[in-house]
Chains A and B, each alone.
Chain A
Amino acid sequence: NAGVTQTPKFRVLKTGQSMTLLCAQDMNHEYMYWYRQDPGMGLRLIHYSVGEGTTAKGEVPDGYNVSRLKKQNFLLGLESAAPSQTSVYFCASNLAGGPIQYFGAGTRLSVL
Chain B
Amino acid sequence: QVQLVESGGGVVQPGRSLRLSCAASGFTFSTSPMHWVRQAPGKGLEWVALISYDGDNKYYTDSVRGRFSISRDNSKNTVSLQMNSLRPEDAAIYYCATTLRGSYRNPFEFWGQGTRVTVSS
A binds B: no
